[in-house]
Chain A
Amino acid sequence: MNGNFSDHEARFLEKARLALRASEDRLDAATLARLRDARERAVDAAGERAAGVFRIPNWMRAGAFATAAAAVILLAVWADPAKQDLPVRSPDEFEIVLYADNMDLYEDMDFYEWLVEAGNGGSTA
């Protein structure tokens, strides 16, 4: 380690190393307790990691989420209610549908057609 230094410097470095290593044994109890706690947390974290060897990797989770989101969007676009069959058969009927006062008449149209065919259109029901 000290190959490039003179004997004098090597002795100084050895003295420094011993002093620094001795200082490790002089830590106060509160500091040691905090360090022990940190070590235990780290060991727990390592244990959790080891237990999760067969877990789904994060990149795979992200990919699955993106795929699911894309599928939902596609489904929503495909099943757009605007593209479903309209409740009217021709554009002319829009006016009837949108004109709220005539809705009852429109719904009973079959009845009125039968009434006309039966020749009773002029009589009151």
Chain B
Amino acid sequence: MTIAYDQSIAGDAETGRASTIERHIAQEKARARRKRMTNRLLAAGFGMFVLFLWWLFSALGLIHRLIIPPPGEVLSAFFRVASASYFWPNVMVTLSEIAAGFALGLASGVVFGVSVAMFESVRATIYPYLVALQAPPKIVLAPIFVTWFGFDEASKIAMAVVMSFFPMFLNTLTGLASVEPNAVKLMRSLTASRWQTFRYLLLPNALPTMMAGVKLCWTLAVLGVVVGEFVGASAGIGYLIHAFNFQLDISGVFVLILLLSIFTLVVYQLIENLEKKIIFWSGM
């Protein structure tokens, strides 16, 4: 500020002030940028450090390579696994199971959530059972599903659906219910129908909560498929992990875990980007 007044004495007051403001904004931006940079460097540095420790401990023979294989071995295992003829068919099996399970879990969660929220009779009839069904850990269903639906995709998809259904259902329900009473009053005063109230108020109002549900739904769909494949499968990434583990190919297991994590994270990020576009108003 002092600089601004000094300048204004020297020349045109308005221009001096404007340029001071501009400089101030530029400084603020630079500061924020530096801070972001520092934070990123910190995170990257820590990652490198852990990687280094991993390498060091392996090189010194402090960790047995059957427990945690050295980084170099994992890297070479990646090329070995990725170029194997069995790799892509198995990956495709898992990806299609995840996609189907996620889509079905999401869709059924939304349909049931909307029905229970919008229709009193549906709520009275099925809500207590849906809550009760949520109680047992869903993983116990995996062996039964293999019995019911077989060793192929169906049992894995079923597992992904039961895992991902509940968060989507509950978040849809909560989102639709958490509406400001005054907004409902406004809609009523405008003689809005139930459908109009849903379309203009309840649904958009529920979207932030529903998008949080979608993200949960996604990670649980992946989990459901892998669990299903562990329990009984003839193909898929979970099946491969199981097989590699039995062959004591730990670096191969590491490669598959890393690939699955990266895939899950990438899609998660895509959902988050979509979320920012859909609920654009929350960032304003």
Q: Do A and B bind each other?
A: no
List B residues at the A interface (Cβ < 8 Å): none
Residues of A near any B CB (own CB < 8 A): none
